Amino acid sequence: MIRQDPNRIREQAAWHLLQRFRDLNLADGVVNLSGGEKVRIKGCTSLDHPVERGVRYSLSYEDGKTGIVELEWRDGRIHTNRSKGPAIDHPCGTSFGLNGHPMGLVEISSLRAAIDLSSASSEDFEVLLGRIVEATLEVA
């Protein structure tokens, strides 16, 4: 029996996930934060960059301020950072454990979320991105 390296499978799953987030250029999703504030996902700002350099999404707050959420794969985890905008007093972020499976399923354990990269719709990716953005912004 041939066993695939779980670290390699996880890394491939992360690259595919980030690539889908970049290529879909999701926009106009609304994230409801626990304090009642709403944040709108405005689109990907790193369309021309390789996913190895991170995937960045522009955010718009209800008060008109803007921000950026960056997702990147490093040290075996998906790391997110919130930065670059007048709405941000200080950069902050979080990270998520990720499990990949040879059949295309990606699990983000701390969010209790999974997505099938081979069959998920853009709406599925939008929901997952919203959950990642929400978890990142709630850290602050």
User: In the chain, what are the domain boundaries?
Assistant: 6-138
pTM: 0.89
Tracing tokens 């779980």 back to the chain, one arrives at 6
Residue type, 12: Q
Write the pLDDT tens digit of every residue in 107-126: 998 898 999 998 999 999 99
What gap in Å lies between CA 128 and CA 55, rounded to an integer?
14
| Tokens encoding 49 | 């960059």
DSSP line for 25-89: T--SEEEE-TTS-EEEEEEES-TTS-GGG-EEEEEEETTS-EEEEEEEEETTEEEEEEESSTT-S
Write the pLDDT tens digit of every residue in 30-64: 999 988 999 999 999 999 999 999 999 999 999 88
